[in-house]
Structure 1
Amino acid sequence: MPYVEKGMAVGLFGGSFNPPHAGHALVAEIALRRLRLNQLWWMVTPGNPLKSTRELAPLAERIRWSEEATEDPRIKVTAFEAAYQVRYTADTLALIKARNPGVRFVWIMGADSLLSFHHWQRWREIASTFPIAVVDRPGSTLSFLSSVMAKTFDYAREDESDAEVLVQQQAPAWTFLHGPRSSHSSTAIRARRSP
C-alpha cells in the first residue's frame, strides 16, 4: 500500500485497467481536483470477478501501462491486492480501513460502473465503508437516478457542490460529479487491437 499519514484525504480508484486510457486518467484528475484529495490510489486489480479473465493482460503489463497513463505525482499506481490475495472490493476496503486508521478515504468509480454496482459482492457493505464519488462517463449520466445503488442510497446522496467535504462524511454518503467526459473505452481499445 502506498504511504499515507493520518488526516490525509485519499481516493481509491480500482479497476482492471485492461488497458488504462485517457478516460481513466480524466476520472482520476476530476476526483483529485473536485474532492481536494492529497493522493489517489490507482489500484490495478489482479482480476475482476464479474468479467472474463481470458482477455486480461498480465498484471505487470497493466501496472506499467497505468504508470505511463498518469503524470500527476499524487496518483500512486499500486497492485497491493495481489500481494494480499484479496479478490473482492469489500475485502480490499476492509483491509485498507484496518491498516490506515485516521486516514480519510473515498471510493472513486466511473458512472458506467454504477449501473452494475449492485452485482458486486457485498455492495451494500462497500457503500457503508467509505463515501463514494461517482464520476460521469459517456452514456451513463443518468445512472445516478436509475441505478439500484442510487435508489437504495438516495437518502445518502450529497450535492456535488459539496463534493470537497464528501471525504469527511460518514458512509454511506455519495455524490455524482459531472464534468468533462472521455469516450475512451478499454473494451473498444481491446477490440481494435484484436487481429
Structure 2
Amino acid sequence: MPHVERGMAIGLFGGSFNPPHDGHLLVAEIALRRLGLDQLWWIVTPGNPLKSRSALPPLSHRLKLCEALVRDPRIKVTAFEQTLGTPYTAETLSFVKRRNPQVNFVWIMGADNLKSFHRWQHWRRIATTFPIAVIDRPGATLSYLSSKMARTFSRTRIDEDDAAVLWKKEPPAWTFIHGPRSSLSSTALREAAEG
C-alpha cells in the first residue's frame, strides 16, 4: 500500500482498468479536486468476480498502462490487492481500514457501477466501511436515483456542494458528483481493438 500519514484524506478508486483510459483519469481528477483529497489510490485489481477473467490481460500489463497514464503525483497506482487473496471489495476495504485506523478514506466509483452495486458481495458492508463518492459517467446520471444502493442509503446522501467534507463523515455517507464526463469506456475500447 502507498505510504500515508495520520489524518490524511485518501480516495480509493478500484477496478480492472482493462484498459485504463482518460475517462478513468477524469474520475480520479474530479475526486481529488471536489473531495479535497491528499491522495488517490488507483487500485488495479487482479480480477472482477462479476466479469469474465478469461479475457483479462495480466495484472502487470494493466498496471504499466495505468502508470503511463497518470501524471499527478497525488495519484498512487497500486496492485496491493493481489497479495490479499480476495477479489472482493468489501474484504479489501476492511483490510485497508484495519491497517490504517488514523487515516480518512473515501471509496470512489463511477456512476456506471452504481446500477449493479447491489450485486457486489457484501455491498451494504462496503457502504458502512467508508463514505462513498459516486462520480457522474455518461448514460448513468439518473442511476443514482433508481439504484438499490441509492434507495437503501437515501437518508445518508449528502449534497455534492458538501463533497469536500465527505471524508470527515461517519459511514454510511455518500454523495453524487456531477461534472465533466468522458464518453470513453474500457468495453468500447476493447471492442474497437478487436474489430
Letter in 2 for 1:79: A
Correspondence 1:6-155 to 2 at 5 A = 6-155=6-155
Question: Counterpart of 1:163?
Answer: 163
State the superposition RMSD in angstroms.
0.6
2:53 & 2:102 partners in 1: Cα distance? 36
1:103 & 1:20 partners in 2: Cα distance? 27
1:55 & 1:183 partners in 2: Cα distance? 23
How far off its partner does 1:86 sit?
2.3
How far off its partner does 1:55 sit?
1.4
Q: What is the aligned residue count?
A: 195
Letter in 1 for 2:145: L
Provide the secondary structure at the position in 2 that maps to 1:112.
Answer: helix
Provide the secondary structure at the position in 1 that maps to 2:77.
Answer: strand
1:36 & 1:48 partners in 2: Cα distance? 28
Query: Structure 2: which 5+ residue stretches go unaligned?
Result: none
Report Cα offsets for 1:36-67 as digits up to 9, x if no partner: 00000000000000000111111000000001
How far off its partner does 1:131 sit?
0.1
Provide the secondary structure at the position in 1 that maps to 2:129.
Answer: coil
1:143 & 1:166 partners in 2: Cα distance? 20
1:152 & 1:84 partners in 2: Cα distance? 29
Q: Taking structure 2 as the reference length, what is the TM-score of the superposition?
A: 0.99
Letter in 2 for 1:171: P
Deviation beyond 3 Å, 4+ runs, structure 1: none
How far off its partner does 1:101 sit?
1.3
How far off its partner does 1:97 sit?
0.2
Question: Counterpart of 2:176?
Answer: 176
Report Cα offsets for 1:81-128 as digits up to 9, x if no partner: 101212100000000000001100000000000000000000000000
